[in-house]
């Protein structure tokens, strides 16, 4: 599908303006080449690559365990879902049995990062519209979630908590209480946010009918996630291709049919509630302590006590750390529903401990392609709305 | 002779007060925004950050004054001066308090007390737009240009509604002299009660006049980087900044004078303090609004100005005219 040749109102009277890569609201280093007719956008073209880091090539020289840390850095606002897509892909290739408790904890953290990521989106999007205070409130609440991640994984931003075979560590003591407190506080936060944006005519005016995209266009451009669901198609991989026992949880997939920035806004806001519902349910299924990684010592590191007393465990530890584990020959694609859409990994293994090809299907890259459609005939202010409303993450786009 | 000296003293004192007022308005704004946003704001320079404006001013004065290649040098350099000049001039006609007696002379607390004070205030505040438009145009920067265009369109359309909204006060007081308008409110009561709709319109347009959220389109940070002052640095940027905040003080002062009885108030506080308190309430409202609302979109802003504010203020103006002339 091609973008149509822009229609110009006045002949030759257009102005080219480069929005970014250094601009307050392009969310990092996105550059948009705008062709303006007065304030009206004739054509908008995203130019990407300013954050290109060569992750996919780097991964080919790392072992499967080491690659895990790279996935954190793709979409650094939702590292856990990236981890999840990657470890599930490797596990699929190895046909690895993962304890059910570990899968539940993965669900818990995936949803926590989804909430954290949506909170950042909410704050920044509304800030782009000109209301700055909400950003500080959502960041405060995101901090609570980051504290939870820190408690479990030891770091806040790039946790690499999910490992092939299970998790890096067991849950810390008192984790359940902390999550319960979060669930309890959650309605109060959302209430205070909604006071600021719900029914606010200025916000509605900036979002309603702005940067429209149809369902057909979304499918043609491989748009996934909340952006697609805002056009009325309830495509959510958690429902369609359940992984990690997502089918055991009771949650709705919020959809809207308008396909504009307003629809995308509310799909995400509703998703925060659904994620909290899942977190509540999954918490009941998790015991405070228990198996958290596979018992296959060829894949997961043995516990410390074993290493000190057991020769075989020491050898396993040594082999895993120095050489990694071999993965059977073959190829696999596994995707999960990230906060921004379908996050997938395509791996090709030649039988060795390092991937032969490591390809990330990052949702923001596909979503960003629609920017020319979204900005069509909008004003300069609508470009900002469009960029904010498709919720891109430049680490995710440029890889 | 004495009156000339008094006038010069008054001018110097007024400029001093406005500059100090500007400096501390920025501090108050930053501190209040900090509290609104779960931060502390600047509190390191001096007790409670009270010396922060001094540090800021010093920093601004010492920064290099850059000019982009290809900018129109004269216009580029003059634009901020123009803005600041217009902002300061408006305050000349605002009476800050009841006349006081020194050296056996009655001294009114304004620089000038012309019979058309209100008109002069509006004339000067309209001039301020030139600084912004010229600054945006002369910068040789596309963002600045867009900001300048937005500013001119916005200010021209909102000035109309603003002018119409104060005409009611003019008719009720029967004078355009600001001091007499205040005195008229001593007998008739504060004008915001009969003129509540024009007051609301005045306040909305005043926010638009001063380019503050939600009408901060000329400098919309998330869209136009910094709008018309993108290229300015150092003291020239500071002048634009001063003009904006002095305008905030000015429109607040005018609102107080026109609708809230100026310096009038119960006698347990001196009149000038009443004036300052009322202005402070307005300034707080400005900051509160900035912390809460998102920005208008350019076209919505224009249609709001022309299709909502202007007709309402016009209808209310006609109604007031009919009422004052005894038709109703």
Mean pLDDT, residues B9-22: 83
Is residue A90 domain-shared with residue A126, that is, in the same domain?
A: yes
Q: Which residues pair with A16 in a beta bridge?
A: A35
> Per the omega criterion (within 30 degrees of 0), is the bond before B214 cis?
yes
Q: Does residue B244 have a pLDDT over 70? A: yes
Asked if residues B189 and B266 have their Cβ atoms less than 8 Å apart, the reply is: no
A200 interface with B at CB cutoff 8 Å = yes
Residue count (chain A): 399
Is residue A21 domain-shared with residue A60, that is, in the same domain?
A: no
Rg (CA), chain B: 20
Query: Domain containing A384: what range?
Result: 55-95+98-293+328-397
Secondary structure string (H, E, C) spanning B118-139 = HHHHHHHHHHHHHHHHHHHHHC
A204 interface with B at CB cutoff 8 Å = no
In this prediction, residue B98 carries a pLDDT of: 67
Query: Locate tokens 């609201």: which residue?
Result: A25
CA distance B263 to B254: 11
Contact pairs from chain A to chain B, CB under 8 Å: 80
Which residues in chain B are contacts of A136 at CB distance < 8 A?
37-39
User: Of A331, A85, A112, A339, whose CA–CA distance to A224 is shortest?
Assistant: A339
Is residue A25 domain-shared with residue A147, that is, in the same domain?
A: no
A132 interface with B at CB cutoff 8 Å = yes
User: Of B167, B89, B165, whose CA–CA distance to B128 is shortest?
Assistant: B89
Q: What secondary structure does DSSP assign to A10-67, as a single string?
A: STT--EEEEE-SS-TTSTTT-EEEEEEETTEEEEEEEE--TT---HHHHHTTS-HHHH
Q: Do B298 and A24 touch (CB under 8 A)?
A: no
Give the DSSP H or E segment for A345: strand A341-349
In this prediction, residue A346 carries a pLDDT of: 92
Task: Please give the torsion angle defined by the CA atoms of residues B163, B166, B171 and B174, in that order, rounded to the nearest 10 degrees.
Answer: -100
Give SS3 for A337: strand
Is residue A167 domain-shared with residue A303, that is, in the same domain?
A: no
Q: Which two three-digit tokens encode residue A28?
A: 């990092």
Query: Does a structural domain hold residue B269?
Result: yes
Query: Does a structural domain hold residue B205?
Result: yes
Is residue A17 domain-shared with residue A142, that is, in the same domain?
A: no
Mean pLDDT, residues B250-262: 85
Query: Domain containing B202: what range?
Result: 69-324
pLDDT digits (tens, 9 = 90+) for B39-88: 888 888 888 888 888 888 888 888 888 888 877 888 888 888 888 888 88
Query: Does a structural domain hold residue B43?
Result: no
Average pLDDT, chain B: 82
Is residue A314 domain-shared with residue A199, that is, in the same domain?
A: no
A380 interface with B at CB cutoff 8 Å = yes
Is residue A62 domain-shared with residue A41, that is, in the same domain?
A: no
Rg (CA), chain A: 22
Is residue A71 domain-shared with residue A34, that is, in the same domain?
A: no
Is residue A36 domain-shared with residue A65, that is, in the same domain?
A: no
In this prediction, residue A2 carries a pLDDT of: 46
Answer yes or no: is the ipTM higher than 0.85. no
In this prediction, residue A1 carries a pLDDT of: 42
Q: Which two three-digit tokens encode residue A179?
A: 């999550």
Is residue A256 domain-shared with residue A353, that is, in the same domain?
A: yes
Distance from CA of A263 to the nearest CA of B (A): 18
In this prediction, residue A333 carries a pLDDT of: 92
pLDDT digits (tens, 9 = 90+) for A1-10: 444 554 554 4
pLDDT digits (tens, 9 = 90+) for A299-328: 888 888 888 888 888 888 888 888 888 888
Is residue A114 domain-shared with residue A9, that is, in the same domain?
A: no
Asked if residues A65 and A164 have their Cβ atoms less than 8 Å apart, the reply is: yes
In this prediction, residue B221 carries a pLDDT of: 65
| List of residues 6+ apart from A291 with CB closer than 8 A | A99, A101, A102, A166
Which residues in chain A are contacts of B221 at CB distance < 8 A?
24-25
Distance from CA of A19 to the nearest CA of B (A): 9
Q: Do B295 and A126 touch (CB under 8 A)?
A: no
Question: Tell me, what CATH number does A104's domain have?
Answer: 1.10.645.10
Is residue A313 domain-shared with residue A179, that is, in the same domain?
A: no
Domain count, chain B: 1
Stretches where chain A sits below pLDDT 70 are 1-12
Domain count, chain A: 3
Query: Does a structural domain hold residue B118?
Result: yes
Interface with chain A: mutation pick from B222, B227, B288, B308, highest number of A CBs within 10 Å: B222
In this prediction, residue B84 carries a pLDDT of: 87
């Amino acid at each position: 599908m091609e973008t149509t040749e822009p229609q110009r109102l006045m002949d030759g009277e257009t102005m080219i303006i480069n929005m970014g890569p250094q601009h307050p609201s392009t969310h990092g280093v996105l550059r948009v080449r705008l062709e303006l007719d007065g304030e009206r956008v004739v054509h908008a073209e995203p130019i990407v690559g300013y954050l290109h880091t060569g992750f996919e090539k780097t991964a080919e020289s790392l072992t499967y365990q080491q690659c895990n840390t790279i996935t954190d850095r793709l979409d650094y606002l939702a590292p856990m879902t990236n981890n999840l897509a990657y470890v599930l892909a490797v596990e699929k290739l190895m046909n690895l049995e993962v304890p059910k408790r570990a899968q539940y904890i993965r669900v818990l953290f995936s949803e926590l990062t989804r909430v954290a990521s949506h909170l950042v989106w909410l704050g920044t999007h509304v800030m782009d519209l000109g209301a700055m205070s909400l950003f500080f409130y959502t960041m405060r609440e995101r901090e609570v979630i980051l504290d939870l991640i820190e408690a479990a994984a030891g770091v806040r931003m790039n946790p690499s908590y999910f490992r092939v075979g299970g998790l890096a560590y067991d849950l810390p003591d008192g984790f359940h209480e902390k999550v319960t407190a979060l669930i309890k506080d959650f309605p109060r936060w959302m209430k205070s946010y909604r006071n600021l944006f719900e029914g606010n005519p200025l916000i509605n005016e900036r979002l309603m009918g702005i940067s429209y995209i149809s369902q057909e266009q979304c499918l043609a451009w491989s748009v996934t996630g909340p952006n697609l669901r805002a056009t009325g198609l309830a495509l959510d991989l958690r429902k369609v291709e359940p992984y990690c026992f997502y089918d055991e949880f009771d949650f709705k997939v919020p959809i809207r049919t308008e396909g504009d920035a307003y629809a995308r806004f509310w799909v995400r806001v509703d998703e925060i509630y659904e994620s909290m519902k899942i977190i509540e349910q999954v918490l009941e299924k998790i015991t405070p302590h228990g198996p958290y990684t596979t018992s296959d010592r060829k894949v997961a590191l043995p516990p410390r006590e074993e290493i000190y007393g057991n020769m075989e465990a020491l050898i396993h530890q040594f082999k895993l750390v120095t050489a990694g584990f071999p993965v059977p020959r073959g190829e696999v694609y596994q995707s999960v529903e990230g906060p921004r859409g379908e996050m997938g990994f395509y791996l090709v293994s030649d039988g060795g401990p390092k991937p032969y090809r490591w390809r990330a299907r990052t949702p923001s890259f596909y979503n960003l392609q629609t920017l020319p459609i979204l900005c069509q005939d909008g004003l300069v202010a609508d470009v900002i709305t469009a960029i904010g409303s498709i919720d891109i993450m430049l680490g995710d786009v440029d890889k | 002779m004495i009156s000339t000296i008094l006038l010069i003293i008054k001018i110097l004192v007024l400029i001093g007060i406005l500059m100090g007022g500007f400096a501390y308005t920025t501090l108050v704004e930053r501190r209040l925004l900090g509290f609104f946003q779960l931060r502390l704001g600047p509190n390191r320079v001096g007790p409670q950050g009270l010396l922060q404006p001094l540090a800021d001013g010093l920093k601004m004065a010492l920064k290099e004054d850059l000019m982009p290649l290809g900018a129109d040098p004269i216009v580029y350099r003059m634009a901020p001066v123009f803005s600041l000049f217009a902002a300061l001039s408006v305050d000349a006609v605002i009476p800050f308090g009841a006349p006081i007696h020194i050296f056996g002379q009655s001294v009114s607390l304004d620089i000038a007390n012309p019979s058309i004070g209100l008109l002069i205030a509006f004339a000067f505040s309209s001039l301020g737009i030139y600084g912004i438009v010229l600054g945006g145009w002369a910068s040789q920067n596309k963002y600045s240009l867009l900001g300048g265009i937005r500013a001119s369109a916005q200010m021209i359309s909102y000035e109309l509604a603003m002018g119409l909204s104060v005409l009611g006060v003019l008719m009720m007081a029967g004078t355009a002299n600001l001091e007499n308008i205040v005195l008229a409110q001593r007998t008739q009561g504060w004008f915001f009660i009969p003129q509540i709709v024009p007051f609301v319109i005045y306040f909305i347009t005043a926010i638009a006049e001063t380019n503050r959220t939600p009408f901060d389109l000329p400098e919309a940070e998330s869209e136009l980087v910094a709008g018309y002052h993108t290229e300015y640095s150092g003291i020239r940027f500071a002048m634009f900044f001063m003009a904006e905040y002095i305008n905030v003080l000015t429109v607040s002062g005018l609102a107080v004078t026109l609708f809230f009885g100026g310096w009038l108030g119960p006698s347990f506080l001196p009149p000038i303090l009443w004036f300052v308190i009322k202005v402070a309430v307005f300034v707080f409202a400005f900051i509160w609004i900035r912390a809460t609302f998102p920005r208008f979109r350019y076209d919505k802003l224009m249609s709001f100005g022309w299709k909502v504010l202007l007709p309402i203020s016009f209808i209310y103006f006609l109604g007031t005219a009919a009422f004052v002339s005894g038709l109703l």
